[in-house]
C-alpha cells in the first residue's frame, strides 16, 4: 500500500466531532485532561445547583423560612429594592427608573450598528449624563431636590460612578497621553507627575482624601457634595491609567504614519484626529476595556467612605436580626451581577476588535 493510501482524510472541523477532536481529544494527554476537568466541573456544578436551586428558598419573611440545606434567596428578593436604589426616597424611585430606561436608549446606538437614525441617537448618548443629573438630583423642571446624595446607593450608585468614570476617563486620558509626549517641557512634566502620582497611590487613599481632606485644599466656604468628590477622584484615577494605555498605542504607530501626514500638509490637529488617534484607539481596545472593567469593579470601594453600594447594602442588611447568619447568598448574588456587567463589556470589546480588524491574512 502506498504512502498516499495510508494517509487519513482531514478532519471535518465544521462538525461537532471534528471540533472536539481538534480542541479536546487531539492526543491521549489532552483526552485524559478533558475528562478530569469535565468531572471537576460537573461536581462543582452539582453542588451549586443542589444548594442554589434544588434546596433553595425563594420566598420568606425572615431566616426561619429558609431551608438549612439550601440558599436563602428570600433575603435577596425581600431586599431587592435596596439593592437597586439604596436609601433613595421611595417617592423618587420613578426618576431612577426613567434614568435607567434612558441609559438603555443611550447604549442602543453603541451596540446596534444597524440602528435607524443612529447618528441622531448618538446626540442623546452624549447628553445622557446631564439627563441623569437632572433626574437623580432634581432641582430642574419642577423636580424635587434630593436632600442628601448619601441616599443614592445600590446598583444605582455603581452605575453612576462606573459610567461617569468610564465616559470621562477616556478623553482625559487621551489628553494626558498627548501631553506626556509633548515637546513642551512644562506640559510634559505636569502630565508625567500627575500620571505617576495616580499610578503610585491606591484608589482607596484617593477616596479617603476626597471624603476628609479635599475641603482643606479649597477656598474657605467652598463645599463639594461627597458623591461629586468621589466621581472626580474615580475619574482622575482611571484617567491616569488610561493615559498609559493610550501612550502605548501611540508608540506602536509607525513613524511613517506621521511623516505621511506631514507630507500631505496636515497640521497636528488633523493628523491626530484623522490618522493617528483612530489607529491608536483601535489597537488599544483590549487595554481600554481592561481599565473600564477594573474601574467598574473598584466602585465597591466607596463603601469604605460611607456610601452604600450593593456590597454596603448587603452587609447592612445581613446585620438585621431577622436575617442573621446569612453571608454566602449576598456575595454569590453580587459576584454574579458584577460578572454579568463585566462579561458584557468584555464580549463587546472582542466584537469591536473583530469589526475593526483591518490586517491582511493569508
Q: Note the pLDDT tens digit of each residue in 57-100.
A: 888 777 778 877 888 888 888 888 888 888 888 888 999 999 99
Q: Looking at the structure, do residues 278 and 166 belong to the same domain, yes or no?
A: yes
Q: Is residue 9 part of a domain?
A: no
What confidence category does residue 29 fall into, taking pLDDT thresholds of 50, 70 and 90? confident
Percent of the chain with pLDDT over 70: 93
For 164, counting Cβ atoms within 10 Å of its Cβ (0-12 exposed, 13-18 middle, 19+ buried), the class is buried
Q: Is residue 1 part of a domain?
A: no
Q: Looking at the structure, do residues 138 and 244 belong to the same domain, yes or no?
A: no
Whole-number pLDDT of residue 222: 66
Q: Is residue 52 part of a domain?
A: no
Q: Looking at the structure, do residues 322 and 237 belong to the same domain, yes or no?
A: yes
Q: Is residue 14 part of a domain?
A: no
Task: Look at residue 48 and tell me whether its pLDDT is greater than 80.
Answer: yes
CB 302 within 8 A of CB 157: yes
User: What is the per-residue DSSP string for 276-292?
Assistant: IHHHHHHHTHHHHHHHH
Q: Looking at the structure, do residues 135 and 183 belong to the same domain, yes or no?
A: no
Q: Is residue 139 part of a domain?
A: yes
Q: Looking at the structure, do residues 284 and 321 belong to the same domain, yes or no?
A: yes
CA-wise closest residue to 87 among 174, 17, 147, 168: 147
151 vs 84, 230, 236, 277, CA distance in Å? 12, 14, 24, 40
Q: Is residue 231 part of a domain?
A: yes
Beta strands in 129-218 (DSSP E): none
Q: Note the pLDDT tens digit of each residue in 192-205.
A: 999 999 989 888 88
Q: Looking at the structure, do residues 271 and 220 belong to the same domain, yes or no?
A: yes
Q: Last residue of a domain, which of 98, 119, 147?
A: 147
Give the least confident one: 5-19, 51-65, 114-128, 292-306. Answer: 5-19
Whole-number pLDDT of residue 359: 58
Q: Looking at the structure, do residues 203 and 236 belong to the same domain, yes or no?
A: yes
Whole-number pLDDT of residue 196: 92
Mean of pLDDT values over 245-250: 90
Q: Last residue of a domain, which of 131, 147, 163?
A: 147
Radius of gyration for the alpha carbons in the chain, expressed in angstroms and rounded = 26
CA atoms within 13 A on the CB side of 254: 3
H/E element, 301: none
Q: Looking at the structure, do residues 292 and 158 belong to the same domain, yes or no?
A: yes
Q: Looking at the structure, do residues 138 and 158 belong to the same domain, yes or no?
A: no
Q: Cell numbers 478623553 correspond to what residue?
A: 171
Q: Looking at the structure, do residues 205 and 343 belong to the same domain, yes or no?
A: yes
Domain of 288, in residue numbers: 153-354
What confidence category does residue 361 fall into, taking pLDDT thresholds of 50, 70 and 90? very low
Task: Look at residue 323 and tell me whether its pLDDT is greater than 90.
Answer: no
Q: Looking at the structure, do residues 110 and 167 belong to the same domain, yes or no?
A: no
Dist. CA 232–CA 211, nearest whole Å: 11
Percent of the chain with pLDDT over 90: 11
Q: What's the domain count of the chain?
A: 2
Q: Is residue 225 part of a domain?
A: yes
Dist. CA 338–CA 81, nearest whole Å: 17
- Tell me the CATH number at 292: 1.10.3720.10
Q: Is residue 68 part of a domain?
A: no
Q: Which residues contact 124 (CB under 8 A, 6 or more apart)?
A: 102, 105, 106
Dist. CA 118–CA 110, nearest whole Å: 9
Q: Last residue of a domain, which of 100, 130, 147?
A: 147
Whole-number pLDDT of residue 358: 61
Q: Which residues contact 268 (CB under 8 A, 6 or more apart)?
A: none
Task: Look at residue 11 and tell me whether its pLDDT is greater than 70.
Answer: no
| Phi then psi dihedrals of residue 61, to 5 deg | -90, -25
Q: Note the pLDDT tens digit of each residue in 109-142.
A: 877 777 787 888 888 888 888 888 888 888 788 8
Whole-number pLDDT of residue 362: 42
Q: Looking at the structure, do residues 170 and 273 belong to the same domain, yes or no?
A: yes
User: What does the mean pLDDT of the chain come to?
Assistant: 83
Amino acid at each position: 500500500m502506498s504512502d498516499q493510501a495510508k494517509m487519513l482524510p482531514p478532519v471535518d472541523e465544521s462538525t461537532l466531532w471534528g471540533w472536539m477532536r481538534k480542541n479536546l481529544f487531539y492526543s491521549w494527554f489532552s483526552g485524559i485532561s478533558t475528562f478530569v476537568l469535565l468531572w471537576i466541573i460537573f461536581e462543582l456544578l452539582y453542588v451549586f445547583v443542589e444548594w442554589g436551586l434544588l434546596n433553595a428558598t425563594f420566598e420568606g419573611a425572615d431566616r426561619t423560612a429558609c431551608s438549612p440545606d439550601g440558599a436563602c434567596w428570600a433575603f435577596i428578593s425581600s431586599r431587592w429594592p435596596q439593592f437597586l436604589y439604596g436609601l433613595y426616597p421611595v417617592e423618587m424611585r420613578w426618576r431612577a427608573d426613567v434614568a435607567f430606561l434612558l441609559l438603555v436608549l443611550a447604549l442602543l446606538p453603541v451596540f446596534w450598528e444597524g440602528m435607524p437614525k443612529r447618528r441622531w441617537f448618538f446626540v442623546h448618548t452624549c447628553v445622557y449624563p446631564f439627563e441623569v443629573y437632572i433626574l437623580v438630583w432634581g432641582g430642574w423642571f419642577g423636580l424635587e431636590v434630593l436632600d442628601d446624595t448619601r441616599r443614592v446607593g445600590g446598583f444605582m450608585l455603581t452605575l453612576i460612578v462606573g459610567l461617569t468614570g468610564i465616559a470621562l476617563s477616556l478623553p482625559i486620558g487621551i489628553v494626558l497621553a498627548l501631553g506626556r509626549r509633548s515637546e513642551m517641557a512644562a506640559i510634559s512634566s505636569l502630565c508625567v507627575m500627575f500620571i505617576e502620582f495616580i499610578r503610585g497611590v491606591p484608589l482607596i487613599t484617593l477616596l479617603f482624601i476626597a471624603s476628609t481632606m479635599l475641603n482643606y485644599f479649597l477656598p474657605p466656604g467652598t463645599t463639594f457634595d461627597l458623591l461629586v468628590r468621589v466621581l472626580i477622584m474615580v475619574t482622575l484615577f482611571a484617567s491616569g491609567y488610561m493615559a498609559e494605555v493610550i501612550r502605548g498605542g501611540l508608540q506602536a504607530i509607525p513613524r511613517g504614519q506621521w511623516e505621511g501626514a506631514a507630507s500631505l500638509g496636515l497640521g497636528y490637529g488633523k493628523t491626530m484626529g484623522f490618522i493617528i488617534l483612530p489607529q491608536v484607539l483601535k489597537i488599544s481596545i483590549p487595554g481600554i476595556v481592561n481599565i473600564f472593567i477594573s474601574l467598574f469593579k473598584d466602585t465597591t470601594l466607596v463603601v469604605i467612605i460611607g456610601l452604600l453600594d450593593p456590597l454596603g447594602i448587603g452587609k447592612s442588611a445581613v446585620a438585621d436580626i431577622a436575617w442573621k447568619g446569612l453571608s454566602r447568598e449576598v456575595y454569590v448574588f453580587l459576584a454574579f451581577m458584577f460578572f454579568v456587567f463585566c462579561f458584557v463589556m468584555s464580549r463587546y470589546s472582542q466584537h469591536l476588535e473583530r469589526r475593526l480588524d483591518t490586517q491582511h491574512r493569508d
